[in-house]
Structure 1
Amino acid sequence: MLKKIILLIAMSVLIAVPVFANEAPKTVIQVTGNSQKEVNPDVARITFSINSVNAKLEKAKNDNTQIANQVFANLKEQGITQEQIKTNTYQVDPVYNYEKEKLPKLEGYRVTNTLEIRTSIDNVGILVNEITNAGANEINSIRFETANETDSKNEALRDAIGDALKKADVIAAALNKRVANVTLVNESGVFYRPVMMESRMLKASSDGAAPNIPAGKVTVGATVQVTIELE
């Protein structure tokens, strides 16, 4: 009886082997998908500083506060709300006079109030003019960006995957095969490059006109690695 069972199992295995042998092996390929495009920015961030120096600390602080109040008044006239303004730093530093072979001598104090405004790109030149006219003496940077950075990055990822799948179709056609399955996707990187204008000392022109500040383009892109089975 045992010999009959073993014989039946052996025959079943022999019958099953040709079925598996007839299956064509799948070809596995790996493709890289890339995307990069330039988009128009719709938001700007203006970072500027109010610097006040005086021999007396209270005078330096009061001068700084007066200029800041005038800046806020000018911005309010242009429709800027408190929610669009934030303070980055408020700093008080001693100012010393350094002479050779002498101890440093305290000359006074510097008060630096650094603020940031978030606004539409259409208002940048006007706001820079209003800020500097009010007494702010340094424009630290102007950053042009998109309102929703996450959406821009997600779209870049979708485009990169689409590029990878197109390449896979080309490879499959060249091999007389077709795409059967995507087995693995690795995100190699997503980049988002806003337009930055740094360390600009911008002042109103002699005729009081607002400066022309072009926004440029924001660059967004992504790279993915996709593993695909062909059949």
Structure 2
Amino acid sequence: MPAVRTTPLLVLLLSTLAAPVALAQARQPSPTPATPLVNPLARTIRVEGTGEVKVAPDEAFIDLAMETLAPTAKAAAEENARKMDKVIAALVQAGIPRKEIETRNYTVFPEFEPQPRPEATPKLKGYRVSNMVEVHVRELARVGPLLDTALGAGANRVDSVRFGLSKPEVVKGDALRDAVERARQSAQVLATSLGVRLGPVLDASTVTEPPRPFAVAARFEMAGAADVTTPIQPQEQTVTATVTLVFAIEGQGR
């Protein structure tokens, strides 16, 4: 019995008929989007609460700088390095670990003599080198004495004294709990005023604002005598948290 041969025309016809079926299988309907947590038609009460916690700082950051001026950039840099090494050595000898002293900024730029007339050619005065370091202090009572130590060793600029919290997450939690309690109290007042019962929480969101140590100022006054310590008075840190709660409403109005 002769073998049955499938002609190329028949194969092409079968492939053409199968293509729409495969395409229909590939184009499955997209799944239905997940139902939102809060039904927009549900009867709800939305409230906002803000909590605030004030706490004394437990760490400080001192920005010290050494500026030098010399006829050449090389001479200014060398002089600056020698003087800054002396300042850092004094701080380390005073008990600050070397790892707690970090370079924050280093600049070299030309400095010109004041121009007698606007059209006059600027005359180079020399090169100024500025080296700023940040000193991390974990004992606030030592901030004043350390400033005196650095200035006594030759530091000629104090840019800032900033205070902060070593473990801000603990204070953030306290502020958040306070915010939730305030929001819940507001929701209960609203429910009572409306004559309804407060149901469960359907949604919650929060924003926590950490303390901003860069915005905290310290009163910095140079001591008048060599045996008087520079007074430093840190300010309290304020941490705030805001929560938004959505409660379900149970029961009927009056």
TM category, shorter: 0.7 to 0.9
3-state SS of paired residue (1:162) = helix
With over 3 angstroms needed to count, the CA separation of the structure-2 counterparts of 1:212 and 1:167, relative to structure 1, is same
Query: In the alignment, what sits opposite 1:135?
Result: 154
Using the TM superposition, give the Cα deviation of residue 212 of structure 1 relative to its aligned residue in structure 2, in angstroms. 0.9
Using the TM superposition, give the Cα deviation of residue 160 of structure 1 relative to its aligned residue in structure 2, in angstroms. 0.8
Query: In the alignment, what sits opposite 2:171?
Result: 152
**Distance between the aligned counterparts of 2:241 and 2:60, measured in 1?**
23
Query: In the alignment, what sits opposite 2:209?
Result: 190
**Distance between the aligned counterparts of 1:223 and 1:135, measured in 2?**
46
Query: In the alignment, what sits opposite 1:71?
Result: 87
**Distance between the aligned counterparts of 2:42 and 2:110, measured in 1?**
73
**Distance between the aligned counterparts of 1:168 and 1:126, measured in 2?**
51
| Residues 137-192 of structure 1: CA deviation (Å, up to 9, x unaligned) | 11111111111223322332222112111222233344454332111223255252
Contact 2:168 2:210 (C-alpha < 8 Å) held by counterparts: no
Contact 2:101 2:134 (C-alpha < 8 Å) held by counterparts: yes
Query: In the alignment, what sits opposite 2:125?
Result: 107
The answer to whether 1:34 aligns with 2:83 is no
Contact 1:140 1:201 (C-alpha < 8 Å) held by counterparts: no
**Which of 7, 31, 54 in structure 1 is aligned with 2:70?**
54
**Distance between the aligned counterparts of 2:230 and 2:185, measured in 1?**
46
With over 3 angstroms needed to count, the CA separation of the structure-2 counterparts of 1:204 and 1:63, relative to structure 1, is farther
| Residues 87-115 of structure 1: CA deviation (Å, up to 9, x unaligned) | 00111111112422222111111010011
With over 3 angstroms needed to count, the CA separation of the structure-2 counterparts of 1:56 and 1:202, relative to structure 1, is farther
Write the letter of the residue equivalent to 2:216: M
With over 3 angstroms needed to count, the CA separation of the structure-2 counterparts of 1:159 and 1:134, relative to structure 1, is same
Higher strand share: 1
Structure (1 or 2) with the larger CA radius of gyration:
2
| Residues 69-91 of structure 1: CA deviation (Å, up to 9, x unaligned) | 11112111221011111100111
RMSD (Å) for aligned C-alpha atoms: 2.3
Write the letter of the residue equivalent to 1:172: A
**Distance between the aligned counterparts of 2:125 and 2:212, measured in 1?**
43
Using the TM superposition, give the Cα deviation of residue 209 of structure 1 relative to its aligned residue in structure 2, in angstroms. 2.0
Query: In the alignment, what sits opposite 1:210?
Result: 229
Using the TM superposition, give the Cα deviation of residue 201 of structure 1 relative to its aligned residue in structure 2, in angstroms. 7.5
Write the letter of the residue equivalent to 2:126: G
Using the TM superposition, give the Cα deviation of residue 202 of structure 1 relative to its aligned residue in structure 2, in angstroms. 5.5
The answer to whether 1:221 aligns with 2:221 is no
Query: In the alignment, what sits opposite 1:116?
Result: 134
Contact 1:132 1:203 (C-alpha < 8 Å) held by counterparts: no
3-state SS of paired residue (2:238) = strand
Using the TM superposition, give the Cα deviation of residue 223 of structure 1 relative to its aligned residue in structure 2, in angstroms. 1.5
TM-score, normalised relative to structure 2: 0.73
The share of aligned pairs that are identical, in percent, is 31
The answer to whether 1:96 aligns with 2:116 is no
3-state SS of paired residue (1:135) = coil
3-state SS of paired residue (1:170) = helix
**Distance between the aligned counterparts of 2:223 and 2:70, measured in 1?**
25
**Which of 176, 185, 188 in structure 2 is aligned with 1:166?**
185
Contact 1:96 1:106 (C-alpha < 8 Å) held by counterparts: yes
Contact 2:164 2:211 (C-alpha < 8 Å) held by counterparts: no
Structure 1 segments, 4+ long, off by >6 Å, are: none
**Which of 90, 93, 99 in structure 2 is aligned with 1:83?**
99
**Distance between the aligned counterparts of 2:55 and 2:206, measured in 1?**
22
